[in-house]
Chain A
Amino acid sequence: SQQGEEDPQALSIQEGENATMNCSYKTSINNLQWYRQNSGRGLVHLILIRSNEREKHSGRLRVTLDTSKKSSSLLITASRAADTASYFCATTREAAGNKLTFGGGTRVLVKP
């Protein structure tokens, strides 16, 4: 089974609204990362949050991490049509060396 599971699987919002997606994982992690994938393309790294951090910001992105609940959230504020993509969380587990384990992703559609 996958280490990370995103929720919801799909999200449709209007331009200007905020988009929030969640990621849950099962075992202890070193860090958690969020990646974005435009349709049919490779993944691009967005933001990383370490296990000892609770919140991190980068531009219009806000990531939170709750290690007690083994969950993270990604918030995209003031969304734009160009934010339409799939978003994946990925975890680096303490016992897994350099391997990243990805969740199934959240497909976000931002309607103009």
Chain B
Amino acid sequence: DVKVTQSSRYLVKRTGEKVFLECVQDMDHENMFWYRQDPGLGLRLIYFSYDVKMKEKGDIPEGYSVSREKKERFSLILESASTNQTSMYLCASSFTGGENTIYFGEGSWLTVV
């Protein structure tokens, strides 16, 4: 089975801190994604990557950056966390080609105080 693992399930950080959310997938998927999920707003795409060292902005990239140094790992970085970044963050991955089914991690709940 495909496994997408997010390193932290629950985090509490202070405003202004630098935050790293790590994600690893074990199925050699080319594509990886970071979404955030907020009540009433559904899932919104922050960034995605279709290859190592490649990244593209999603719908809400402001305040975030990403890193993909290895194929299996995709990191989301909050350079200076703010309270409006309190949310659930979901990592996902998929194969290029095929039918674009994506596989999600269990989510990381981030609270910025």
Number of interface residues of A (CB under 8 A): 24
CB within 8 Å of B: which A40-55 residues: 40-45, 48, 50
* B75 nearest CB across to chain A (Å): 17
Q: Report the minimum CB–CB distance from B93 to chain A (whole Å).
A: 10
Q: B99 touching A48 by the CB < 8 A rule?
A: yes
- B90 touches which of A31, A42, A99, A101 (Cβ 8 Å): A42
B104-A43 in contact (CB<8A): yes
Bound: A33/B35 CA distance, A: 17
* Most A-side CB within 10 Å, residue of B35, B42, B45: B42
Q: Judge whether A48 and B101 touch: CB under 8 Å.
A: yes
Q: Does B31 contact A (CB under 8 A)?
A: yes
Contact-size category for B:
20 to 34
The total of interchain contacts (Cβ-Cβ below 8 angstroms) comes to 56
Q: Does B50 contact A (CB under 8 A)?
A: yes
Within 8 Å of chain A (Cβ to Cβ): is B7?
no
- Asked whether B96 is an interface residue with its Cβ less than 8 Å from the other chain, the reply is yes
Convert A16-36 into 0s and 1s, putting 1 for each residue whose CB lies closer than 8 angstroms to a CB of B: 000000000000001101010
Task: Give chain A nearest CB distance to B10 CB in angstroms.
Answer: 10
A3 CB → nearest B CB, Å: 10
B16 CB to nearest A CB, Å: 27
Q: Please name all residues of chain B whose beta carbon is closer than 8 Å to the beta carbon of A100 when the two chains form the complex.
A: 33, 45, 100, 102
Interface of A is mostly: strand
Nearest residue, chain B, Cβ from A33: B101
- State in angstroms the CA–CA spacing of A50 and B101 once bound together: 12
In the complex, whether B94 has a CB less than 8 A from a CB of chain A is yes
Are B58's CB and A42's CB within 8 A? no
Contact A99 B58 (CB under 8 A): yes
Which B residues lie at the A interface, using CB under 8 A?
4, 31, 33, 35, 40-43, 45, 48, 50, 58, 88, 90, 92, 94, 96, 99-107, 109
Interface of A toward B, CB cutoff 8 Å: 2, 30-31, 33, 35, 40-45, 48, 50, 88, 92, 97-105
